[in-house]
Amino acid sequence: MTAKVIAFLNQKGGCGKTTCSINVAAMLASQGHRVELINLDPQGTAIDWAETRGEHASPEDINFRVSSMGVNVQKELGAAKMANDYIIIDGSPTASKLTIAAIKASDLVIIPLKPTQADIWSTDSTVQYIHEIHDMRDQQKPLCYFLPTMVLTGSKISRTIASDLETGYGLPTMNRHTSQRIAYQDTFEKGGTIMNLDEHDKARHEIKMLSKEIEEICAEIK
């Protein structure tokens, strides 16, 4: 079995691509899966994070490799796909060529999105690339989902947004989301992930449930 390739992509900056990538990677690795995280962002945030993680991180956080690739990611992934169960790609906010390359290399694209109108409008280009690749291939490959991120505690992430996204962009929304929680920033800044937190911590729990949903979607991909 070769690895399932999951990319967190959205050309809107600061929507949670890196945060979701490192935390989902750490959660899946902690469950015994072989995971590699690929930084596709010229800013190199995931690489910077990886360089600090040795000092403060929990054992789970150093359980997976982090490396960088570029526009040839599909080709470059060959060996990593043979050696892993999951490859997680942390996408770039700026470079369209990298976004397109990541869509082509992936089995599943997740579009993290703050559920505000301004952020929804800013996903236009990412969604357009996905539809172009689906049209070119004449099939819905890779599978693509929106993921609401930084949802304010107390606000219900309404299914109206999910239904607006589906109507407006023709793509479904995941059942899970991430809430606005300081724990994500705190753990990141210490070179760790939510795996550093207590097992019953809310941020850790929501990443656990998000990872479970990702695994379930991946299990359906041939």
Ligand X SMILES: Nc1ncnc2c1ncn2[C@@H]1O[C@H](COP(=O)(O)OP(=O)(O)OP(=O)(O)O)[C@@H](O)[C@H]1O
**Does residue number 106 form part of the binding site for Mg ion (CB under 5 A)?**
no
Residues 103 and 111 sit within 8 Å (Cβ to Cβ)? no
Q: Which does 19 bind (CB under 5 to 8 A by kind): ligand X, Mg ion, none?
A: ligand X
Q: Which does 170 bind (CB under 5 to 8 A by kind): ligand X, Mg ion, none?
A: none
If the CB atoms of residues 4 and 176 are measured against ligand X, the closer one turns out to be 176
**Does residue number 150 form part of the binding site for ligand X (CB under 6 A)?**
yes
Q: Which candidate, 145, 149, 117, places its Cα nearest to that of 7?
A: 145
**Does residue number 16 form part of the binding site for ligand X (CB under 6 A)?**
yes
How would you classify the pairing of strands 4-8 and 35-39? Answer: unpaired
**Does residue number 11 form part of the binding site for Mg ion (CB under 5 A)?**
no
**Does residue number 149 form part of the binding site for ligand X (CB under 6 A)?**
yes
Burial 53-63 (b: 16+ CB within 10 A, else e): beeebbebbbb
d(C-alpha 183, C-alpha 119), whole Å: 23
- Please pick, from the candidates 116, 128, 155, 185, the single residue that binds ligand X as defined by CB under 6 A: 185
- Please pick, from the candidates 4, 33, 53, 181, the single residue that binds ligand X as defined by CB under 6 A: 181
- Please pick, from the candidates 3, 19, 89, 119, the single residue that binds ligand X as defined by CB under 6 A: 19
| Interface of this chain with Mg ion, residues 26 to 65, rule: CB under 5 A | 45
**Does residue number 15 form part of the binding site for ligand X (CB under 6 A)?**
yes
- Please pick, from the candidates 30, 39, 45, 99, the single residue that binds ligand X as defined by CB under 6 A: 45
Q: Which does 99 bind (CB under 5 to 8 A by kind): ligand X, Mg ion, none?
A: none
Query: Site residues (CB under 6 A) for ligand X?
Result: 13-19, 41, 43, 45, 93, 149-150, 178-181, 184-185, 188
